[in-house]
Chain A
């Protein structure tokens, strides 16, 4: 969980807090195509806000509207109380870190960082000091004189960050900032990014398609699809209590069992197969009695055993596949009606000791609060 959330940083829950950014009924159309569909959204100072969604969902367009690279078709965007309509990119107190980094290949690292400062009202004498400060922040003092092609991918990423932060913008936009890095470096850099965000106190808005990245860095995540905001929430809530099957499916791995909601109280019973005991899960948003609904549960919340367990929900099935990932294994279990449910367990025993194998009849079980019943 993000430390700032745990430490009580939650301005979005405070009715008196003033948002830094506010989208009011914002729509963006490209010809006949609606990229952003009537969005309302508030982002607060010092937030690390992630826009998450598949490619083409509108997240990049939303960010580019903040940066001033796309204008708004309908609605209004305000930053720090100022209506942004008609204000071009070069007049906004917003800076952007581009997906390709967009480092100027003909300028040195230091000149790249100084580029924006030279075009601001900062006195010439102070520019050098600011550049040095930024180089220190991203630990690239030794590389000041190098050209972008003379440094590694990870270093380039840091130069791009330093350049975008040099003018101390109110808002920093990051377009897939870690997309070009390999997995290991990406994980290290995520923490660096959070560290720098905290140190500078800048509001960050990051665009990413990588849900793990969003979960790691963000104070809140907006899950987008087809130009709509599906859910805007903290990472734990997006994961634990998704408001739709789409969000549940998009974030992490999930089992989805469809059926009909039968008893909608604090928990909901889902009739999923004829003659089978209904499944119980927590009642999610907008579930209506007698209407179709889906039960969603994370594989790690499903236990697997050879003997019949004592549990609130249990189903019988046969192991058809085992994916061994080293630290954990995922069992694919086919139920009697053909539905496949995945169960994930940590491999805290050596492989020879585990007794479940292909074709074994097994029991899957979970508690009443482990899963969620959502409207389709």
Chain B
């Protein structure tokens, strides 16, 4: 029995107000004409204009997107492989170490991951730049991907693959034409998660980035340290808008698909 008491209504309202008011303020004040970030000086979009002229930000954004796309793709491939190993490979030499290495980065403080990777890159003489950030991001994101994919794999009906073999598939053919299409949603959400983590990461990127490869979070962090700036508000608003539209679209599409499927299943059974 569900009871929506006034206590529940109040706690939900307060909770969501707490979550959303700070971001709302950020968005509103990005349209503030005044340079004083806490005093309203009329509506203006000039900060967006200035942002678009700011070469340093645009460069950093480009580096970030590039790193995100490459690292999340590598992470998805490696993470999916790791998920297979975790769920399917049974016992093999060093399995405990392997699953430990998959789960450890999830709880590892970013400062430690960043520091240790930087020390590795220095000791093997790899110059810091886009490559090192990509390697670092791919490493910690692959663990997230493998967790997402392996939870899907665990509920995967093995007899689907057996049916594929039974009907004449080889191993790779069965993976390509049966397993992959079925786990694709999990692989895609793993990729999105890896991409978001990469775009969002400040600490690990700070350790592994070189002087010529500043990412957006590093750029934002260094300007934010000096205090609030309307340009950053504008940038934040753009990011919030993209994420919001993206997440809401994704959830509506997936919800529609579920509803459609349920309706079809109901119709099929009657």
Residues of A bordering B, CB below 8 Å: 67-69, 88-90, 94-96, 98-100, 102, 104-106, 115-116, 119-120, 146-147, 149-153, 155, 163-164, 167
Contacts and interface: CB of A to CB of B under 8 A. Distances in A.
Q: Which 3 A-B pairs have the closest CB atoms?
A: A116-B167, A119-B168, A102-B163
Contact of B162 (A89, A94, A152): A89
A169 to B, nearest CB: 9
Nearest to A94: B166
A237 B164 CA distance: 38
Nearest to B184: A106
B97 interface: no
Given A119-B169, A150-B264, A98 B181 contact: no
**Main secondary structure on B side of the interface with A:** helix
B50 interface: no
Contact of B159 (A102, A119, A149): A102
B265 interface: yes
B269 interface: yes
Interface of B: 157, 159-160, 162-170, 173, 177-178, 181-182, 261, 264-265, 267-269
A12 B120 CA distance: 72
Given A102-B157, A102-B159, A106-B182, A149 B166 contact: no
A90 B182 CA distance: 21
Which of B173, B265, B268 has the most chain A CB atoms inside 10 A of its CB? Answer: B268
A90 B269 CA distance: 33
Given A102-B157, A106-B181, A88 B269 contact: no
B267 A90 contact: no
B19 to A, nearest CB: 36
A120 B159 contact: no
A127 B167 CA distance: 14
Given A149-B261, A152-B268, A102 B162 contact: yes
Nearest to B261: A149
16 contacts: A67-B166, A68-B166, A88-B165, A90-B165, A90-B170, A96-B166, A104-B164, A104-B178, A115-B164, A146-B268, A149-B261, A150-B267, A152-B268, A152-B269, A163-B163, A163-B167
**Main secondary structure on A side of the interface with B:** loop
A316 B157 CA distance: 56
Contacts of A105: 182
Contact of B269 (A94, A99, A102, A153): A153
Nearest to B265: A149
Given A106-B182, A149-B268, A152-B268, A119 B173 contact: yes
A68 B160 CA distance: 15
A102 B261 contact: no
B268 A95 contact: no
A69 B162 contact: yes
A254 B264 CA distance: 46
A98 B159 contact: yes
Contacts of B159: 98-100, 102
Nearest to B168: A119
B160 A102 contact: yes
A23 to B, nearest CB: 20
A104 B181 CA distance: 9
Contacts of A152: 268-269
Nearest to A119: B168
A105 B261 CA distance: 11
Contact of B167 (A69, A115, A146, A153): A115
Contacts of B166: 67-68, 89-90, 94-96, 116, 164
B36 to A, nearest CB: 57
Contact of B165 (A89, A147, A149, A164): A89
Contacts of B162: 67, 69, 89, 96, 98, 102
A174 to B, nearest CB: 12
B167 A167 contact: yes
Nearest to B270: A152
A274 to B, nearest CB: 56
Contacts of A95: 166-167
A68 B165 CA distance: 9
A116 B168 contact: yes
Nearest to B161: A102
B165 A100 contact: no
A104 B160 contact: yes
A68 B167 CA distance: 12
